[in-house]
């Protein structure tokens, strides 16, 4: 099975330019994917293009990851209805570092076909306006640019600045640069990148007479129609300090039944037979949620390592398997290390009512909310439902005199450490 066939059965190929399959099958090639440094970390949505690069490398091709130090300063209008707020240089630099270290977990930068990590700022920052307009701008008609989906949609909506309008030219130039310097002939990306990718292919054809190709991945969706990669807490990041391995594991475990097969193909390296066996298992014994467990394990291990996975599983077991009773404070602390926690003084804790405790600790954002929560029967202290909002915290509530476990609903735990 070659790379293209693998990408195909896994569902990665949403759209491909003419000849892409052939080009990939002909021999070892170099291909790239771009990553946007708008946030300090990549998130689970970026996992799809990352896996694209992983497959590329596993099939012996050379992957290039481009971080958009330059394009990040401009803002890609693709898939965005609003003009972006420009990032300052320091933020951008910090984000680049974070992304870089994350990519290093997935790709091998040594060996036979080492991955390459580059920053497009390196070849873009010194480009003069005159050169840009003569060497790149000259090859694009305004009609061509206006016809791009990303531009069209914005023109119909709230408009687009010249800055973002120019974005596609910079990305096209990236492709040309990589074509020239690394013989990179394929660009992959999310389906919203189609316009930018084809712009690059056209530029390469026009100025070098070269052939280049593009493959775009499908938009990640959830069966329930919510945005993929979001939970109640917001985006699911790859950085453990932004999304704990426990939360990360839980995110995958909670995958909708209807999505789990697709996600196994996208986000794990499990072979076809295994994925299909898991799907069969889902049909036969859905309540076991075996595919969900496997998905969560595979992805968590890949992102957070074996150690992170084991901790996440242990925490999940205690939090969902039973009650914290009978578990020592030390053990609890270890298990809850991935659950949000706050420090408070013992004195403070003991002076508070339940509504105050929930609010002060950050579990609820106001006393009003805490009150409503209690009225609805959704607040638990040490896994026991709280009915009285005025109830004070008592000494006997403290596990071994120093821990409190506060819970909102079924899944939202907060550990309070009293000193």
Partner RNA sequence: GGGCAGGUUCCAGAGUGGCCAAAUGGGGCGGGCUGUAAACCCGCUGCCGCAAGGCUUCGGUGGUUCGAAUCCAUCCCUGCCCA
- Choose between 204 and 414: whose C-beta lies nearer to RNA: 414
Instruction: Map residues 151-170 to x or -, x wherever contact with RNA holds by CB under 7 A.
Output: ----x--xxx----------
Place of tokens 């707020």: 85
408 binds RNA (CB under 7 A): yes
Among the candidate windows 22-30, 202-210, 323-331, 405-413, which touches RNA by CB under 7 A? 405-413
Interacting stretch for RNA, rule CB under 7 A, among 118-126, 163-171, 195-203, 362-370? Answer: 362-370
We find the least distance from the C-beta atom of residue 294 to RNA, in angstroms, to be: 13
Rounded to whole angstroms, the Cα distance separating 14 from 384 reads: 49
Which residues, 6 or more positions from 255, have their beta carbon under 8 angstroms from its beta carbon?
A: 263, 292, 295, 296
85 binding RNA? (CB under 7 A) = no
Q: Closer CB to RNA, residue 94 or residue 258? A: 258
- Residue number, 28 or 258, with CB nearest to RNA: 258
From 7-15, 253-261, 301-309, 337-345, give the range in contact with RNA by CB under 7 A: 253-261
Q: Does 377 bind RNA (CB under 7 A)?
A: yes
Q: Could you say whether residue 314 binds RNA (CB under 7 A)? A: no
Q: HSE, CB side, 13 Å, CA atoms: give it for residue 189.
A: 27
Distance CA 179, CA 161 (A): 29
DSSP 138-194: GG--HHHHHHSHHHHHHHHTT---HHHHTHHHHHHHHHHHHHHHH-EEEEEEEGGGH
Q: Judge contact between 138 and 85, C-beta under 8 A.
A: no
Residue 62 lies near RNA (rule: CB under 7 A) = no
User: Are 84 and 75 a contacting pair, CB within 8 Å?
Assistant: yes
CB of 278 to RNA, least distance (A): 12
Q: Please, which of residues 288-307 interact with RNA by CB under 7 A?
A: 289, 292
Partnered with residue 118 across adjacent β-strands are 66
**Residue from 30, 124, 359, 361 binding RNA (CB under 7 A):** 359
Say how many C-beta atoms besides its own lie within 10 A of residue 261's C-beta: 18
């Amino acid at each position: 099975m070659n790379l293209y066939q693998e990408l195909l059965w896994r569902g990665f190929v949403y759209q491909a330019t003419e000849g892409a399959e052939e080009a990939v099958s002909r021999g070892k090639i170099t291909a790239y994917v771009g990553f946007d440094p708008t946030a300090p970390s990549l998130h689970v949505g970026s996992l799809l293009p990352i896996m694209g690069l992983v497959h590329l490398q596993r099939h012996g091709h050379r992957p290039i990851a481009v971080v958009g130090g330059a394009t990040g300063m401009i803002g890609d209008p693709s898939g965005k209805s609003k003009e972006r707020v420009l990032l300052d240089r320091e933020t951008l630099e910090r984000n680049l570092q974070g992304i870089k270290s994350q990519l290093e977990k997935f790709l091998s930068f040594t060996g036979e076909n080492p991955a390459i990590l580059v920053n497009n700022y390196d070849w873009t920052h010194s480009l003069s306006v005159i050169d840009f307009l003569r060497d790149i701008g000259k090859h694009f008609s305004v009609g061509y640019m206006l016809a791009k989906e990303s531009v069209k949609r914005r023109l119909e909506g709230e408009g687009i600045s010249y800055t973002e309008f120019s974005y596609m030219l910079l990305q096209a130039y990236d492709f040309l640069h990589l074509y020239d310097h690394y013989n990179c002939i394929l660009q992959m990306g999310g389906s919203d990148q189609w316009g930018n990718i084809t712009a690059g292919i056209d530029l390469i054809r026009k100025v070098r007479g070269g052939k280049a190709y593009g493959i775009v991945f499908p938009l990640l969706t959830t069966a329930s129609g919510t945005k993929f990669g979001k939970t109640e807490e917001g985006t699911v990041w790859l950085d453990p300090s932004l999304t704990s391995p426990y939360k990360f594991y839980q995110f995958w475990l909670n995958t909708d039944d209807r999505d789990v097969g697709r996600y196994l193909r996208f986000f794990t390296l499990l072979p076809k037979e295994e994925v299909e066996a898991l799907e069969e298992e889902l049909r036969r014994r859905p309540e076991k949620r075996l595919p969900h467990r496997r998905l969560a394990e595979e992805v968590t291990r890949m992102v957070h390592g074996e150690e992170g996975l084991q901790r996440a599983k242990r925490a999940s077991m205690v939090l969902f398997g039973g009650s914290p009773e009978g578990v020592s404070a030390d053990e609890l602390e270890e298990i809850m290390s991935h659950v949000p926690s706050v420090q408070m003084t013992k004195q403070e804790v003991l002076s508070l009512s339940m509504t105050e405790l929930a609010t002060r600790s950050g579990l609820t954002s106001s006393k009003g909310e805490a009150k409503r929560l209690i009225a609805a029967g959704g607040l638990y202290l040490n896994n026991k439902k709280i009915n009285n909002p005025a109830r004070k915290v008592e000494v006997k509530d403290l596990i071994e005199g120093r821990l409190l476990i506060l819970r909102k609903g079924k899944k939202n735990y907060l550990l309070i450490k009293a000193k």
